[in-house]
């Protein structure tokens, strides 16, 4: 049995003269479902059918006229509203990790560990240049989706170990708050984080959650979050 489901969304306006297919794709939990409007606004309502293995699982009716309240993070069955028009909850961001030799001799980077949300991964294979002369540096990039509509705290910590040509190995780490404390270590780690427009991650402003004030809505996107109709939580029910 697969966790994938087929999502079919059509024009749900009862007065629409013809059936207009808006979305028809197979998705899994966590994937984004974007219902476009083409060159105009969305119909006054959209009707979505979720099926699995040719068995209908859910039917969802969502008012997109702008006349009924629609808020970001509203839950319709297994759909959770993540954007409407130009209002986005999920923002692509990029972490950039800088490893720099601030010592007096060449050194070999031997360990790079990234910790986020309690999980630690080894990034040593992502370092293309592991031997650094004095003043040399290497960078690693990491792309994530930042949910700016949910209250949450995410701490990212990068640690690195290095062996110099002479003397003892050194160690340093830095967290996203950019607190650097090299102490006896001679390898410096700096983290930066920004979205696609270059805005620093802590400065990204969340959108107003209410999608419209009676205006037409031109596009919406949902994340398929799984579950059943009983978990629906929205302002239209």
* DSSP string for residues in 54-99: TEEEEEEEEE-SSSS--BTT-EETTEEEEEETTEESEEEEEEEEEE
**C-alpha span between 128 and 117 (Å, rounded):** 26
What is the tens place of the pLDDT at every residue in 16-40?
Answer: 666 788 889 999 988 888 887 666 7
What is the tens place of the pLDDT at every residue in 105-135?
Answer: 899 999 999 998 889 999 999 998 999 998 8
Residues in the chain: 237
Over residues 162-186, mean pLDDT: 70
Higher-pLDDT residue of 114 and 86 is 114
**C-alpha span between 8 and 11 (Å, rounded):** 10
CA angle 52, 234, 31 (to 5 degrees): 40
Higher-pLDDT residue of 175 and 189 is 175
The tokens 């003269």 sit on which residue? 17
- What does the DSSP 8-state code read for residue 232? -
Higher-pLDDT residue of 46 and 147 is 46
Over residues 164-178, mean pLDDT: 82
Return the closest-CA partner of residue 4 out of 18, 34, 25. 25
Mean pLDDT of the chain: 84
Q: By the 8 A CB rule, do 12 and 43 touch?
A: yes
Beta-ladder partners of 7? 25, 50
């Amino acid at each position: 049995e697969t966790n994938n489901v087929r999502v079919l969304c059509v024009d749900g306006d009862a007065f629409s003269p013809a059936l207009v297919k808006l979305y028809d794709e197979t998705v899994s939990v966590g994937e984004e479902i974007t219902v476009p409007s083409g060159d105009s606004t969305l119909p006054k309502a959209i009707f979505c059918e979720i099926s699995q293995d040719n068995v209908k699982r859910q039917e969802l009716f969502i008012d997109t006229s702008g006349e009924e309240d629609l808020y970001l993070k509203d839950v319709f069955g297994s759909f959770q509203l993540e954007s409407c028009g130009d209002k986005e909850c999920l923002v692509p961001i990029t972490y950039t990790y800088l490893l720099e030799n601030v010592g007096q001799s060449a050194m070999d980077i031997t360990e790079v560990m990234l910790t986020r949300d309690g999980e630690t991964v080894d990034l040593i294979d992502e370092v293309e240049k592991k031997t650094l002369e004095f003043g040399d540096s290497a960078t690693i990039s990491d792309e994530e989706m930042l949910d700016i509509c949910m209250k949450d705290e995410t701490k990212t910590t990068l640690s690195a170990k290095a062996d110099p040509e002479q003397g003892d190995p050194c160690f340093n780490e830095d967290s996203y708050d950019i607190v650097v404390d090299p102490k006896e270590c001679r390898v410096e780690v700096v983290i930066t984080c920004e979205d696609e427009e270059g805005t620093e991650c802590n400065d990204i402003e969340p959108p107003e959650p209410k999608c419209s004030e009676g205006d037409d809505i031109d596009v919406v996107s949902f994340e398929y979050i799984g579950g059943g109709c009983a978990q629906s939580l929205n302002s239209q029910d």
